[in-house]
Amino acid sequence: MMRLKSLYVKDFRSIDGEVNVSLDAPIVLIHGPNGAGKTSLLSAIELALTGTVPSLSRAEPDYLAYLPHKGRPFGEVRLEAAGSDGAPLQSNLQVTTTGVTGNALLGEGDAGFFSERSYLAQSTLGRLLEIYQHADKKSDSPLTKFVKELLGLDRMEALIGGLHSAGNIARLKVPVPVYGEFRDQISEDVAELQRLRDEMAQDEAALRTGTETLRIRLAEIDPQLKDLEPAEAKRRLDQVSEDNNLAALVRLRRELEVSEASWQSATSQNAALDKRKDIEATNQADRSALDKWLVEHGQVLEALLGRAAGFFNDITLSSESGYAERARALTARIAQDRERVEGVLAAHEVALLKRSGLERQLTEARTRLQRLDHELAAVSNANEAFGRGLSDLMTHVEGDICPVCDRDYSEVSDTPLSAHVAAKVAVMIEQAGRLQSLLSSRGSTQTEVSRLDRELQAAASGMVLDAELTALKKRSVDLTEVERQLGDATVRLTEGDRYVDAANRSARALAAAQKSDQTAIVLRNSVEDLARRLDLDFESYISTEQLLASLSTTIQQQEAVLTARQTARLDAIESAQFLVILAEKQSTLAAKIDNLEAELRGRKERKEQADSIIEVAKDITRRTREARGRVVRRVFNDELNTVWRDLFVRLAPEEPFIPAFAIPESPNADVEAVLETHHRRGGKGGNPRAMLSAGNLNTAALTLFLALHLSVKPRLPWLVIDDPVQSMDEVHIAQFAALLRTLSKQMQRQVIVAVHERSLFDYLALELSPAFEGDRLNIVELGRNAMGETTSRWDSRLFVPDRAIAA
C-alpha cells in the first residue's frame, strides 16, 4: 500500500515561511493554536495528492486566487510518498493567484476517492449530512452516488438508464428518432391513403358522369360518335373545323355591307338626277368664265410665272398648283435671292472703299521709309564704338604727345590734343545716338508697310470681278422688277384660282350625275351574284332593297348554326380531354395507392418488430429493478447500516436515536440515499439533523464518514481528519481514540489528525502512543514567532517497553 513520507510547504495559505515535517508513521497528530496553519497543512496534502482543493471550492469557487500567502507571489507544496513496491514518489507543485503548476500524485479516480472518502475537512464535518444529501435535479447526491458505487449498481443503473427511454414513447423519440418518425409516418400514410382513396372515388364518380354527358353531346353532333372512347372522339372532333365556313360568311357579310352602302349612295344620287340640267348649265357658265379669264389674263400671268421660275434651275412648280400658290412660292424664293445679291454688292462697295484708304496709307508709309533710308545713309559713317575707344584713350593722354603714334600734336594744331580728342568723341557719340533712333523708326515703318500690304491684298480678295459685278447688278434689277410685278398681280392670280375651282366642281358634279345610272345596274348584278353564292332563291321582280334584307337574314342564320355547332364541338372536345386526363389521373392514383399500401405494410411490420423489442426492454428494466431492490435491501440491512450503527453506538452509547439509511419501499423505486433515525426500542424517527443534539449530530457525521470509508474496498490507505473532536464529551473522545487506534493497527490505515485543544492533543498523544515494536507516532506542532512567521516542530515517538511491567 502507498504510504506518505514527508511534506514541505512554503508560503501556502496561512503558512508564512517554510514548514517541513515527516509523515512517515501510522498515526500523525498535528497541533497548533487557531490560525497556526493546521488546516492549511492538510489542504496542502490534498493539493499535492489531487491537484485541487475541493474542500475549499465548495465555499469559494475562486479559491485559487487565495492559495499563495498574503503578499507572496507564489507558494510551494512538495509531498513525498512510497509506493506499494517501495518506489519513491513525489508531487511538486507551485501555486500562484492564477493557477497551479506541477504534477499531482493521484490520478482522477483516486483523487475523487481521496476527497470524498479519505479526507474530512473541518468545514465539511458540520455540514456533512447536508452536503451528502444535497443534489440538483440533473444529478444524484454524493451520498446516492456512493451507495450506488458501494452496491455495485453501476451496471444495473446503466442498464436501467439506457432502457429508460423504452418505457415512454415521448422519451424514445430522443435516442431513437427513427421510431417516432415511423409512428408519425404511419399515421400520415394512413391519412394519405384514405385521402387518395376518397379522391379516387370522387374521380370515378366524375368519370361516370362526364362519360354520360359526353355521349349526349356527341349524339347531338354526330350519332356515329357517341359510342367512341373519349380519346378517339377527341381525335375525330379535332379533325373537323367550322372556321373556314365562318370566315367565308364573314367575307360575304362584308360584301353585303359594301353593297348596301353603295346602293344607298346610288339611291341618293338618283334622287338628284332631276337637277342634271342645272348642273350642266352651271358647268357651262363656269367653263365660259374660265376661258374668258384665260384669254384676258391667263397668258400674261403664265409668262410672268415662267419668267420668275427661270431665275432658278432647282425649282419646279406643277401647273396643277394654283396661280396664287405658285406666285407665293416664287416670291419667297426671289426675295431670298435678291437679299443675297444685294449683300454681295454691298460687300463689294465696302471692300472698294477700304482698298482706296489702304492704298493711300501704303503710299505714305513707303515715302516715309525712303526718307529714313536717306538719313541713315548720311550718318552711317558714325562709329559709336570708335568714339568710346577714344574716350577710354583720353585717360592716357598727357600733354600733346599721342599715346598711339607718339607724335606731337602741337606740330599740327594749336588746339591741345586732349581738347581735340574730347571734341571728336562728342561728335561720334551724338551721331551714333541719332543712328539708333533712325534705325528704330525705319523698323516700325517697315512693319507698318508689310501690314498695310497684307490688308490691301485681303481687301482686294473681297471685291467682285467686273464681269460678275455687272451680272449681279443686272440680276438684282430683274429680281426686283419681277417681285414687284408678282405683288401687283396677286388679285388677278387669286381670281384665276377661283374660276378654276368653280369649273372643276361643276365638272365633277356633271360626271357623277352621268355615272349614277351605270352604278345602279352594276350594284343589282352584284347583289344577285351574292344571293346565288348563298343558295338563296329569289324572284327577278323582287326589289333590290328586299333582296339585300333577305341576304342579311340568311347570313345571320347560317352564322348562328355554325357558331352553335362550333360551341358544341369545342365543349365536347373539352369534356373528352377532361375525361382523358381523369382516366390518366385514375391510373396514377391507383399506382400511388399500391405503392403507399406496400410501404405502409413494411413500416407497420418494422414498427411491430420495434414494439416487440420495446416490450423486451421494458421486461428487462422491470427485472433489473427488482434485482436491484433485493440487493439494496440486503446490503443496506446487512452491511452499510450495520457498520454505521456499530460506529455510532460505540461513540454515543447513550443516544436513543441511531442514524441509518432509509431503504427504498418499492423494489422498482430508484436508488436514492435518504437519511433517517431508528429508535433503539423500535420505530423510525426523522432526519438526523432534526432528531440529534449538536454533539451527537457531529458524531453521526463523523461515523457516517468513517462508515462510508470502511464500506468500500480500500483504494487508498489514508484517513485525514481535521479537528473531528467538536462538542464531544470524555466518553466520546475516549471511544474516538480507540477507534483511531483500531483503524491504524487493525485496518492498516495511515491516520493524520489535526486537533486544536492542547489537553485533547496530549490525551490523544498518550492514547495513541506506540504499543508494540515497530509502531510509531509522529507529533507535529505549529506556531508563530514574534515576526508572525510560521514555526514548526515535529517529533517521532517510538515504542519503549515498560520496564516495570517487564520485570
CATH number of the domain within which 74 lies: 3.40.50.300
Rounded to whole angstroms, the Cα distance separating 177 from 195 reads 26
pLDDT at 15: 92
| pLDDT-above-90 percentage for the chain | 10
pLDDT at 226: 67
Region 438-465: mean pLDDT is: 76
pLDDT at 383: 53
Count: domains in the chain: 2
Per-residue confidence band for 93, with pLDDT thresholds at 50, 70 and 90: very high
91-95, 153-157, 603-607: segment of lowest average pLDDT? 153-157
723 belongs to a structural domain: yes
Which residue among 461, 488, 515 closes a domain? 488
Q: Is the pLDDT of residue 770 over 70?
A: yes
Amino acid letter for position 94: Q
779 belongs to a structural domain: yes
29-43, 237-251, 373-387, 760-774: segment of lowest average pLDDT? 373-387
Region 54-71: mean pLDDT is: 82
pLDDT at 81: 93
Per-residue confidence band for 516, with pLDDT thresholds at 50, 70 and 90: low
What is each CA distance from 568 to 217, 223, 225, 579, 717, in whole angstroms? 7, 14, 13, 16, 107
pLDDT at 133: 54
What CATH number does the domain containing 451 carry?
A: 1.10.287
Helix/strand/coil for 777: strand
Helix/strand/coil for 759: helix
Torsion of CA 360, 364, 366, 372, to 10 degrees: -170
Which H or E run contains 81? strand 75-82
> Which residue, chain included where needed, has cell 341576304?
551
Instruction: Name the DSSP class of 165.
Output: G
Higher pLDDT, 275 or 696: 696
531 belongs to a structural domain: no
Per-residue confidence band for 124, with pLDDT thresholds at 50, 70 and 90: confident
Helix/strand/coil for 407: coil
Q: Is the pLDDT of residue 706 over 80?
A: yes
Q: What angle do CA 284, 288, 292 make, to 5 degrees?
A: 175
Question: Which three cell numbers, joined as nine digits, stand for 245?
Answer: 365556313
Rounded to whole angstroms, the Cα distance separating 465 from 471 reads 10
pLDDT at 265: 63
pLDDT at 427: 67
Question: Which three cell numbers, joined as nine digits, stand for 323?
Answer: 396661280
Q: Is the pLDDT of residue 403 over 90?
A: no
Structural domain boundaries enclosing 794: 3-126+715-806
pLDDT at 18: 93
159 belongs to a structural domain: no
Q: Is the pLDDT of residue 300 over 70?
A: yes
Displacement of CA 62 from its chain's centroid (Å): 43
- Does residue 343 come out as left (phi exceeding 0), alpha (psi in the -120 to 50 range) or beta? alpha
Which residue among 433, 462, 488 closes a domain? 488
Beta bridge partners of 777: 27, 797
Rounded to whole angstroms, the Cα distance separating 66 from 682 reads 50
Q: Is the pLDDT of residue 139 over 60?
A: no
C-alpha radius of gyration, the chain, whole number: 72
Region 777-795: mean pLDDT is: 91
pLDDT at 77: 94
* Other residues' Cβ atoms within 10 Å of the Cβ of residue 706: 24
- Please answer whether residues 45 and 720 qualify as being in contact, where contact means their C-beta atoms are separated by less than 8 angstroms: yes
- Please answer whether residues 410 and 400 qualify as being in contact, where contact means their C-beta atoms are separated by less than 8 angstroms: yes
Region 658-669: mean pLDDT is: 70
Q: Is the pLDDT of residue 671 over 60?
A: no
Q: How would you class 82 by CB atoms within 10 Å of its CB: exposed for 0-12, middle for 13-18, buried for 19 or more?
A: middle
Q: Is the pLDDT of residue 29 over 90?
A: yes
134 belongs to a structural domain: no
pLDDT at 7: 94
pLDDT in tens, 676-689: 888 888 888 888 88
Q: Is the pLDDT of residue 455 over 60?
A: yes
**Where is mean pLDDT largest: 21-25, 223-227, 388-392, 741-745?**
21-25
pLDDT at 149: 55
Per-residue confidence band for 247, with pLDDT thresholds at 50, 70 and 90: confident
Inter-helix orientation angle 544-635/142-151, to 10°: 70
Q: How would you class 49 by CB atoms within 10 Å of its CB: exposed for 0-12, middle for 13-18, buried for 19 or more?
A: buried
Please provide the average confidence, as pLDDT, over all residues in the chain.
77
770 belongs to a structural domain: yes
Question: Which three cell numbers, joined as nine digits, stand for 359?
Answer: 492704298
Q: Is the pLDDT of residue 58 over 80?
A: no
187-196, 424-433, 461-470, 557-566: segment of lowest average pLDDT? 424-433
pLDDT in tens, 150-173: 555 666 666 766 666 666 666 666
572 belongs to a structural domain: no
pLDDT in tens, 323-381: 777 777 778 777 877 787 777 777 777 777 877 777 788 788 788 878 877 877 766 55
Higher pLDDT, 433 or 212: 212
Which residue among 440, 463, 488 closes a domain? 488
780 belongs to a structural domain: yes
* Percent helix / strand / coil, the chain, rounded to 5: 65, 10, 25
pLDDT at 395: 62
Rounded to whole angstroms, the Cα distance separating 678 from 658 reads 5
Q: Is the pLDDT of residue 541 over 60?
A: no
Q: Is the pLDDT of residue 752 over 80?
A: yes
